Chain A
């Protein structure tokens, strides 16, 4: 078991608030958090981290809450959950010694990204002929690998990818155990499929029918739409990255690929999504009701969104300018920020996707169990 890492005062406050919600129950129709909460009579730390990661922070419950500040109960349930969620990222981080990276995460992510950018520029200067780096290459010359050997690129990203995957899997294992589930239940087909569906459609950014109350008290689908652009943009870019090695190793085709090829099409569409989506989410975040923002996490959220934006911006510039003399520099910058993004994935905002998905699976697993429920009174 991971060490208990959530500050005791926060757990106590969470328990106080959850007891009020459990007695009230008005918000039951908004999302999965309240039905999950109602299955419990008391709230251990693992219950709170489960609820916290199940929460999509849509804010509907806060605006509907008869006990929200300035009421003397001072009930700001989603903000408390956001704080618990932030702490839970540290708690489940693997290896545990790196959990400190969640502290001042915005700065950490920026520094790591900057460092990997510098590392890439230096590596390119080391591996390739400096004159090649700053001159124009035609696509037919295999422009990218003229400045950076394919083998080196494959090794660097292969190793990082494996490390990141291991860290994310270990984190979710620790989360899954801490909330009290057996490893095998994670792969229950029904709940797993339902969770994929929930996540793919972001149903809990629906606020119960009119969209979530984000950035303010007016229900709107803006956040869901921008998140869809971000998520599907990301997945599309990820797919492009997956198709490219097939082209390279299986089909023996060398990059850069023509514009109408599958990797480039996927990458271009994905990058457009990853420009508009994160920009929109940042724009909404800027307008977010300050009553609901956990200040300690703003840096983390912003850093991740900005990084996604820069990755897709540099990727698109690379596509447009790849036959010019700027290509070498752009490639170094692009690969540097991509590496920064990958390295910080297990230690930044990206983990929300992993824990939230696991929490959704837990929700659907639990729903299939008999309710400890109350007799119909």
Chain B
């Protein structure tokens, strides 16, 4: 970054949305500087951990099967958000995904058929070859080749905003604070999920037991500054994408491999060794996103997924080995649970299992009767040793609290005027479309659509 000049477009952030904005603005002929707070190795924000994005399409292509029309996409989004979405912005995103794959491919992104164990999204989600980091690498190469000035290890510490108009940014690099001037700014710096203090503010002490599945660099600095300086907020600080992940995962940055996919095959107990939710409510891909919250609601935010030998090899292999024991009592000891309570929980569960034909690929008829909570599908007795357990904790992936935008990606001010030269894209504004709940691949869809819109609008504004 060159502090002596005034850039046309300044991009805050270095993930998918930031790069889409940077490349678009640069291709429109504008001078562009991009400030990424992570070092080069960890560049890309949470996009680094993604693997696909949800695509509207009317014919199979790029690994996508069948068709996924706009209306179905919209209904899926409406269902998970319970209406906490802006239809206009949602439909812009959806329509964008129908056409943006060509642009992505032109900038080096490659697609592949859905990965092993992810057949359920082969129709709706286009997978990036090599995952999100490969996509990010391709975009950085494209951005560099186009002449976007990229600055790593550069954290934005303040923004000079005058009556909703961006003037300059203060950024610290290698301990030196400098002022970067630009005609327009695109805020694409993600949410605050890695800011433990902010999570605690929203969730209370329970947040101390959360694991942050994504990048440690999303501490919400830019979001905080914008909210403090007149941006109209959207969403609720406790809303986010939060799944139950292996409790042994790293505090930050564990990514995809920390998932545990055997919940629907067994039972889940809390630290008192009691079950607390229907493990077989629906297919796991439709339920995994609620289990982070469910575990967050349990004492000390810990739970244990327990299966028996029948389920081995029937789910995606987790990264950590299971805790294994020959009897339920021994398993309880290994998990430091009360053995008699766990034996009685499993005993009652086993006694409640009704006969049925187990089939994990359909909503089968295997259910319990007479216990609460019930297990409504895939209920099989846990009776075949050895027994296995995976400890679970809430793993927060991204947060939905953000800034409101309009259809031109302009950031809205508290008095409902759009800022003349502040644009927002990606997770920092995803709450406009996804206010609640989660569907796979929506984050990258929003980031790509609004990243490109923000880049285009900023380029026009800086002309």
Contact = CB atoms under 8 A, between A and B. Distances in A.
A301 B124 CA distance: 45
B259 interface: yes
A25 B117 contact: yes
Contacts of B141: 217-218
B198 interface: no
Contact of A377 (B129, B256, B313, B360): B360
Interface in B95-144: 108, 110, 112-113, 115-117, 119-120, 127, 129-134, 137, 141
A374 B115 contact: no
B316 A210 contact: no
A180 B75 CA distance: 50
Interface string A1-40: 0000000000000000001101111111110000100100
Interface in A131-145: none
Interface bracket on A: 35 or more
A19 B318 CA distance: 8
B134 A64 contact: yes
Interface string A103-129: 000000000000000000000000000
B132 A377 contact: no
A159 B131 CA distance: 52
A372 B317 CA distance: 13
A273 B43 CA distance: 41
B257 interface: yes
A141 B446 CA distance: 80
Contacts of B285: 377
A265 interface: no
Contacts of B316: 23, 25, 374, 377
Give chain B's interface secondary structure class.
Answer: loop
B137 A375 contact: no
B440 to A, nearest CB: 13
A70 interface: yes
B115 A209 contact: no
Chain A CB count within 10 A is highest, among B51, B112, B317, for B317
A27 B108 CA distance: 16
A71 B253 contact: yes
B313 A374 contact: yes
B152 to A, nearest CB: 13
Contacts of B120: 376-377
The 6 A-B pairs at the shortest CB distance, nearest first, are namely: A26-B131, A29-B112, A64-B130, A23-B257, A64-B134, A23-B319
Given A73-B250, A210-B108, 16 more contacts: A23-B257, A24-B131, A24-B257, A30-B130, A63-B137, A64-B134, A66-B133, A67-B257, A70-B42, A372-B313, A373-B116, A374-B117, A377-B117, A377-B120, A377-B261, A377-B316
Interface of B: 41-42, 48-49, 51, 108, 110, 112-113, 115-117, 119-120, 127, 129-134, 137, 141, 250, 253, 255-259, 261, 264, 283-285, 312-319, 321, 360-361
Interface of A: 19-20, 22-30, 35, 38, 41, 60-61, 63-73, 208-210, 217-218, 372-377
10 contacts: A24-B131, A24-B319, A25-B116, A26-B131, A30-B129, A60-B130, A65-B133, A70-B42, A377-B283, A377-B316
